[in-house]
Amino acid sequence: MAEKKRILTGDTPTGKLHLGHWVGSVENRVAMQAEYDCYFIIANKHAFTTRADRPEDIRQSVIEIATDYLACGIDPQRSAMFIQSEVPAIDELTFYFSMLIPFNRVMRNPTLKDEIRDKGLGDNYPFGFPLYAVGQCADILAFRPQLVPVGEDQLPHLELSREVARRFDQMYCGVDPHTEDKDYVKAGGLFPIIEPKLGRVKRLVGTGAPSAETGELLKMSKSLNNAIFLSDDADTVQKKIMGMYTDPKRVRATDPGETDPEKNPLWAYHETFNPDTAWVDEHREMYKAGKVGDVAVKRKLVEVINTLIDPIRSKRKQYEQRPDDVIDALRLGTQKANAVAEETLHLAKQALKQDYFGKRALSLR
């Protein structure tokens, strides 16, 4: 039987999963389990970039995310969900990779810049903050995956992974720099030049008002306090949606007759989550014409969102009663992840000429 292709993706544990995670990536992951050998990383060390003073919160978030994965339908027998810090090969690779990328190149990463701006970090971020971007290359490449399903905001990190892989393969595996990306492994490279796979919605906006600075609606994010969580109860969903920001102008002056979903999360959400497209089209027209108000459209959205997350919520309740099952799933996934990552590290050390003791050295851990 041919081996299944591998995918690797994951989340930084900053809290529970929300609707943005769902349409950006989690929905995809659940669907891809049948076809791919899946690895889902819970990037707990990345959480230390901004919360090093709150280790207990990070620990709690890891458990929350794992519980959310299981509630969403990640099957721990088929897919490996694992804890980043328990896979030491990733750290070892990070160190070598960090030598292949100029510091200024890392700092040009727009995702880092956005994070610094949106979280108001100024120049007050730790040394490990930019390092996490290199670490993410190792998260990915340790698994030598064919595909990396992510939201749009992760594309700069994936581009960096592609650069690191090309450099490593050229420098240590003798791959000709003119080789096409898809042929690097065939040409003797250890690392594939990975491809992103975007979710059905690239960037889901939050429930809050646009940024005072840029005028853009901000991405849904726990830290921006604008998220609807997959674990929110029905009343909370209702409260969040009924109190959600809507475009006060309704119709953008520059775009007569068009509501702009980028400016109005209400329609962005209906377009994303409401399966009744006829209802959405009809009511969007009525909304534009002022024949239906925010309240009615919001009420409908409450119904739609609660229908989506009801089954997730009830499955989550079951797992909350069985915390040991969550830990067991993480343990099993972490074991599987270590097997692959150790193999990659071994091959990388050979390429780097730093394999002094052969494979047996690995068992000394």
Is 129 or 287 the residue whose CB approaches ligand TRP more closely? 129
Nearest distance from residue 63's CB to ligand TRP, in Å?
Answer: 17
Nearest to 9 by CA among 34, 32, 39: 39
What is the β-pairing status of strands 6-11 and 37-42?
parallel
Find the binder of ligand TRP among 43, 80, 241, 330 (CB under 6 A). 43
Q: Identity (one letter) of the amino acid at 346?
A: H
Q: Which of 7, 12, 79, 265 binds ligand TRP (CB under 6 A)?
A: 12
For residues 23 and 203, is the Cβ–Cβ distance under 8 A? no
With respect to ligand TRP, which residue has the nearer C-beta, 150 or 341? 150
Q: Which stretch binds ligand TRP (CB under 6 A): 56-64, 135-143, 265-273, 299-307?
A: 135-143
Q: Compute the least distance from the CB of residue 157 to ligand TRP, in Å.
A: 6
Cα separation, 338 vs 198, in Å, equals 26
Among 92, 139, 169, 247, binds ligand TRP (CB under 6 A): 139
46 part of the interface to ligand TRP, by CB under 6 A: yes
d(CA 317, CA 192): 40
Q: Are 208 and 224 in contact (CB under 8 A)?
A: yes
C-alpha distances (whole Å) from 142 to each of 209, 227, 253 are 39, 31, 50
Give which of 162, 160, 198 is closest to 181, Cα–Cα: 162
Nearer to ligand TRP, 14 or 246 (CB): 14
Return the number of the residue (41 or 173) whose C-beta is nearest ligand TRP.
41
Contact range with ligand TRP by CB under 6 A, out of 27-35, 147-155, 232-240, 311-319: 147-155
Q: What minimum distance in Å lies between the beta carbon of 133 and ligand TRP?
A: 9
Q: How many chain residues bind ligand TRP (CB under 6 A)?
A: 14
CB of 52 to ligand TRP, least distance (A): 16
Contacts of 203 by beta carbon, 8 Å cutoff, 6+ apart = 20, 24, 151, 152, 153, 219
Least distance from ligand TRP to the Cβ atom of residue 317, Å: 25
Residue number, 68 or 139, with CB nearest to ligand TRP: 139
- How far is residue 244's CA from residue 267's CA, in Å, rounded to a whole number? 12
Among 26, 140, 217, 228, binds ligand TRP (CB under 6 A): 140
In the block, which residue shows the tokens 């070892």?
Answer: 92
Q: Is 265 left (phi over 0), alpha (psi -120 to 50) or beta?
A: alpha
Closest distance of CB 217 from ligand TRP, Å:
19
Could you give the C-alpha distances from 14 to 54, 87, 133, 185, 297, in angstroms and in order? Answer: 11, 19, 17, 35, 31
Q: Binding residue for ligand TRP (CB under 6 A) from 49, 136, 231, 259? A: 136
Pick from 7, 9, 112, 226 the residue near ligand TRP by CB under 6 A: 9
Which segment (39-47, 215-223, 311-319, 334-342) binds ligand TRP by CB under 6 A? 39-47
Q: Taking CB positions, which residue lies at the least distance from ligand TRP?
A: 43
> Please, which of residues 151-210 interact with ligand TRP by CB under 6 A?
154
Helix axes 55-72 and 44-51, enclosed angle (nearest 10): 140
The Cα-based distances of 338 to 143, 157, 199 in angstroms read 10, 22, 27
Residue closer to ligand TRP (CB basis): 146 or 306: 146
Distance CA 358, CA 263 (A): 58
Contact present, 25 and 150 (Cβ < 8 Å): yes
Smallest distance from ligand TRP to CB 35, Å:
18
Query: Hey, what amino acid is at 294?
Result: D
Tokens (6 digits) for 282? 């009809």
Nearer to ligand TRP, 9 or 259 (CB): 9
Task: Please report how close the Cβ of residue 267 comes to ligand TRP at its closest, in angstroms.
Answer: 25
- For binding to ligand TRP (CB under 6 A), which residues are involved? 8-12, 41, 43, 46, 136, 139-140, 148, 150, 154
